[in-house]
Amino acid sequence: MKESDWKVFKSIKEIAIEKYCNLVLEASQTLISKQDESAHNKYLLIYKLLQNRDEKMAVLFDGHSRSRAWSQLLAIRSEGLADQTLLTELSDEFREATDPSRKSF
């Protein structure tokens, strides 16, 4: 991996983590504001949401290494979390190899 790709990837990952966390917090807020749910049920729903989202967060972001950057960027892009402006700064090779529209899951 080129050094320039690594630097851009680190920025993409940092922004993606913030986006992901904000999405989780928004989902939590939606659950908290449900008027027709008891406090206990809201707690249980939020707990389950956080458990599920934490598992996904681990897949997306755990392990910061050049060898994992390829699969992480593919996953980040698949979730729509990658900063589009920063993606244009990547080499063609790295950008194309991590394009989810080119991969079959």
Token pair belonging to 74: 């593919």
As a whole number, the mean pLDDT across the chain is 94
**Pair 55, 99: CB distance under 8 Å:** no
3-state secondary structure of 56: helix
pLDDT in tens, 7-45: 999 999 999 999 999 999 999 999 999 999 999 999 999
